[in-house]
Structure formats: C-alpha cells, structure tokens
Chains A and B, each alone.
Chain A
Amino acid sequence: MITNSVFLMYLAGSLIGLLAGFLMHRSDYCVAGMFRDIFLFRNISMLRYLAIQVIATMVLFEICRTLGLLPLYPFPLLGFASAANIIGGFIFGVGMVMAGGCVVGTLYKMGAGSVISAVAFVGLIVGSAIYAELHPLWAPFVKATTFFQPAKTLPELLGINPVLVLSPVVAVSIIIFIKWHKENQIIRQSEAKGYIQPWKTAVAIALLGVLSYVLVGMPLGITTTYAKIAAMLETLLIPEHVGTVNFFQLTPLNVTHPATGALLQGGAGPQLDSIWAIQFPLIAGIVLGSTFSALLLGEFAIQYRVPLAQVFMALSGGLLLGVASRMAPACNVWHLMGGLPILALQSLLFILGLLPGAWVGSKIVACVILGTRQEKTKQ
C-alpha cells in the first residue's frame, strides 16, 4: 500500500517497532521464555498469549485476504518446506533459550539496558556472518530435502480454500480461550510498575503484524537485516571479501507489489534495499520503544556486573540464533506471527524443531545459572 514510498516505509516500520518494543517491555513479552518455561517450570501461562496472538493474526490475515488487501499471498520470502526448517528450528530453539531472548526479545531487553542481551545481539550479527560463509554447503541440502512443492501452505497442499482449514482451527481455539477466561487464566497479577496485561500486547502485536502485511506486503520479520548488518560491517573491514561471498549477492526478495507496482527487491548484501527499508526501522523502533518505556518507569539501568558464564552463554546463544535464522530460514517471529497464521508448511516444521530445541536450551540454562550464580550472604 505504501511500497512506492521509501519514506513511508521507514515511517511505518519505525512506528510499528516503537509500539511493539514499548508493549513488549511492559508485558515482558518474551517468546523464548514462553517456550522455555513449558520445560523449565512446567508453566504455559505466557504461552497462552502467544496462542491468542497467533489466532488473532490468523483471523485478521484471513479477513484482509478475503477483502483483497493481501495481493501477495502467501507473502514473499516464504519458501517451500524442507528438512532445513526442522533443523534450523531446533538450533534456533536452543539458541533463543541460551541467549535469554529470541531475535526480538534480545532487542527489547537490550533497549532496556540489558548487557547480556547486547552480547547476544553481537552474537546474532556474528552468527549471521558465519552462516554467509557456510551457505554454499547448506544450500544444496535445503534443495535436496525440499518437499510438497509447489504448495507453501497447508491449504495449498490440501488444495482447498484457506477458510475451510482455518475456520475449525479458530473455532476450537476460541473455545479453549473461553475456558481459560472462565478459569481466570488470562489476567495476570503483577506488581511491576506500568504492567500491561500480556493479552493486550498479544492483540496489539497481531494488529501490527497485519498492518505490516497490508502496508509493505510482508508480516513482521527482521533477521535478514542481521545478516545485512554483518555484510555492512564486513564491507568496512574486509571489503574485497564481501564480493566473494555468494550469500551476499543473492536477492531472495524480488517481487512487484501488485497494488502499487513498486518493485520490492533485496537480500542480505550490504546495499540499502527494500529488505533494509522494511526491517531496519522495525529493529531500531523495537530497541528505542523499549528504552522509552524503561526510562518512563525509571527502570533503565545498565548492569555490567553479570556472571561471566552467563555472558558466554548469551554469546553462544546469539551465535546459534544468527546461524539458525538463516538455516531455517527466518526466525520465530516470522514463523510464529506470520507463517503459522496462514499455516505455512515451513513454519509448521520450524515449530516442530523449535520445541525440542527449547527443551535442550532449558536444560543448559538451568545448569549454567544454578552452577554459577553470584550470591552474597550477609547478616
């Protein structure tokens, strides 16, 4: 809808990011934590909100599609299912739990002053750079294990109208949500200042995701830009090398938006293209939105004194996230908040890998934390 104006794309991305970052900080809307806590604390209280968000997105996407607001359906950059989705999802699951946040959680936590998350962010960029070198080895595997072509979503695979598949899913989910509501599982008591009920954040991010899809032709996604930042840094440091890295020359996004006629083109290379225009404002917005929220609450603080083992764990987690985001390809936000609502096959496989990955991650995190905590006992 606004794809013919780079300025409007920047503006929309920044505003969506600012709002998302602000809300995520207030509700501590941590997707990595939602999956981790299934295994670590046998607790699904936060996962419920993700379910609400996914179903809300599903309904909104489908309404927009029916109204003709989503001429690019399924959205660009969504590929065919392959074994890479499961493997990437698994590594991603381990990484996000070790990093203490997924690719978005890391941003809002870093925005509020977390040194651990800033370290994870560095890991994410470096991990993306490492993947770029490994791409020639990984790409043939992806190609060899691709299946269900040419279907990209479950309704396409079944050859039926999405409404027929999505309606029963939505109906069952709503019954479950009503049950949660009756059991008082939706409202959380919190003594954190300025706490925003996570169900509100869930619904708001669903709306922001739909807004993004309608406005720029794609749901929320950010990880290609992590690889792009890696490419930009390499251009500063080792410019002659960047030209030889095949991954940085690819343009996986190459589509004309039917509504505006604008050519959306881009990839992980160091150039400022459509991917940058769509994703970078979102990244910056999430960080700053969270900083703004933390400052307003008087909670912004940078704590350097953190256990070294946790710093290493966050760095390793970030590296795994960076590599896995490109292996999968794409991140949990893209798959959970964009792909799952249209029952994309890639996304379903990604989640299949993500769950055991989060389980492994939760084992590691418990060992590292309980083995190395800093404690001071005084009178």
Chain B
Amino acid sequence: MMSDQKIPENIDIDMRGQVCPATLLVAMDKLNKHRDAIKKGLEELCIKTDNREAITTIPTTARNMGYSVNVTQMDSFYQIVVRNFTPESKK
C-alpha cells in the first residue's frame, strides 16, 4: 500500500552455528519487537540459519502470523526472509 516508494530496511540476523532453539527464539523476538514496521513494509526480517528445524518452524509460524515468507538455500545454509503480506508477495 504505502510501502511502494520505500525500500524496506533489513533486520539481518545470522544464527548459523547457534544452539537450538536460538533461531526460532530470536526470530520470534524480532518479529514481536518490529511488528509494526514489518507490517507497514518498512522493514524485513532476514535470517541466516543452518538449523533444519527452524527452516520448518519459522515459515509456518510466520505465515500463521500473517507474514509472507521466502526460504532460499544458499551455500551451506538457508536464508529466510519474512516481510509483510501483500497480494503480490504471495507465493
């Protein structure tokens, strides 16, 4: 809606190598703290992780919270981007 003219700012968290369940715990913490900005399209949460459980749980949880989620396998890890849900961001 209002976010078309602005490039969203990235909240980058690198959780590679960290103990379980750090990825999910920190991601949820960030989503709660930055909820308004992400929902307005001003910010995006960008998570680097090698935790397979987090790659399973974060997309499901964030989608249930109404966000759009993209998972990409990078070199030896995964990048999960959580942003506000818009009709174009679907799929």
Return B54 CB to nearest CB of chain A, in Å: 9
Asked whether B37 is an interface residue with its Cβ less than 8 Å from the other chain, the reply is no
Residues of B within 8 A of A25 (CB): 52
Considering the chains assembled together, what is the distance between the CA atoms of A375 and B26 in angstroms? 10
Most buried by B among A37, A300, A313, A373: A373
Q: A28-B52, A377-B12 are in contact. List 16 more A-B contacts (CB 8 A).
A: A25-B52, A30-B53, A33-B20, A41-B24, A100-B19, A101-B20, A189-B56, A189-B60, A195-B52, A300-B76, A301-B76, A365-B19, A369-B22, A374-B14, A375-B13, A375-B14
Interface residues on A, range: 35 or more
Task: Please indicate the chain A residues that have their CB under 8 angstroms from the CB of B52 in the complex.
Answer: 25-26, 28, 190, 192, 195, 299
Interface positions of B from 65 to 81, Cβ below 8 Å from A: 71, 73, 75-78
Q: In the complex, are the beta carbons of A304 and B17 less than 8 A apart?
A: yes
A376 and B14 form a contact (CB under 8 A): yes
CB distance from B70 to the nearest CB of A (A): 9
CB distance from A366 to the nearest CB of B (A): 6
The 8 Å CB contact of B25, one of A40, A46, A114, is A40
Task: Show the binding face of B for A, using Cβ within 8 Å.
Answer: 9-14, 16-22, 24-26, 29, 50-53, 55-56, 59-60, 71, 73, 75-78
A192 lies within 8 A of B21 (CB): no
Per DSSP, chain A at the interface is loop
Complex contact A191–B56 (CB within 8 A): yes
Q: A303-B50, A370-B26 are in contact. Are A40 and B18 (CB under 8 A)?
A: no
When the two chains form their complex, are residues A369 and B56 in contact, meaning their CB atoms are under 8 A apart?
no
Given A41-B24, A301-B77, are A195 and B56 also a contact pair (CB < 8 Å)? yes
With contact pairs A195-B52, A369-B26 given, residues A116 and B19 touching in the complex (Cβ less than 8 Å): yes
Nearest first, the 10 closest Cβ-Cβ pairs linking A and B are A303-B17, A301-B76, A190-B56, A100-B19, A191-B71, A28-B53, A28-B52, A192-B55, A192-B52, A100-B20
Complex interface: chain B residues within 8 A of A188 (CB): 56
**Residues of chain A at the chain B interface (Cβ within 8 Å):** 25-26, 28, 30, 32-33, 36-37, 40-41, 46, 100-101, 109, 113-116, 188-193, 195, 298-307, 310, 313-314, 365-366, 369-370, 373-379
Complex CA distance for A310 and B18, rounded to whole angstroms: 7
- What residues of chain A lie closer than 8 Å to B25, measured between beta carbons? 40, 366, 369-370
Taking CB atoms, residues of chain A closer than 8 Å to B16 are 301, 303, 305
Contacts of B24 in A (CB 8 A): 41
> Can you name the residue of chain A whose Cβ is closest to the Cβ of B55?
A192
Q: Is the CB of A299 within 8 A of B55?
A: no
Give Cα A190–Cα B51 distance, bound, in whole angstroms: 12
Say whether, besides A301-B77, A305-B17, A379 and B22 are in contact (CB < 8 Å).
no
B-side contacts of A115, CB under 8 Å: 17
- Docked complex Cα distance between A32 and B51 (Å): 15
Q: Are A310 and B22 in contact (CB under 8 A)?
A: yes
- Residues in A with CB closer than 8 Å to B29 are 370
User: Judging by beta carbons under 8 Å apart, are A306 and B13 in contact?
Assistant: no
What would be 21 A-B contacts, judged by CB atoms less than 8 Å apart? A26-B52, A28-B52, A30-B53, A32-B20, A113-B50, A115-B17, A190-B56, A191-B59, A301-B16, A301-B17, A301-B75, A305-B17, A313-B19, A370-B25, A373-B13, A373-B18, A374-B14, A375-B26, A377-B11, A377-B12, A378-B12
Q: How far is the CB of A278 from chain B (nearest CB, A)?
A: 28
Chain A residues, CB < 8 A from B19: 100, 116, 306, 310, 313-314, 365, 369
With contacts A28-B52, A28-B56, A41-B24 taken as known, whether A299 is within 8 angstroms of B76 at the C-beta atoms is: yes
Contact of A116 among B17, B53, B60, B73 (CB under 8 A): B17
- Indicate if the CB atoms of A192 and B78 lie closer than 8 Å: yes
- Residue among B17, B26, B50, B71 having the largest count of chain A Cβ atoms under 10 Å: B17
Q: How far is the CA of A37 from the CA of B56 in the complex (A)?
A: 14
Closest to B58 in A: A191
In the complex, which residues of chain B have a beta carbon less than 8 angstroms from the beta carbon of A300? Answer: 76
Which residue of A has the minimal Cβ distance to B80?
Answer: A191
Q: How far apart sit A313 and B60, CA to CA, in the bound complex (Å)?
A: 28
Min distance, Cβ A234 to any Cβ of chain B, angstroms: 29
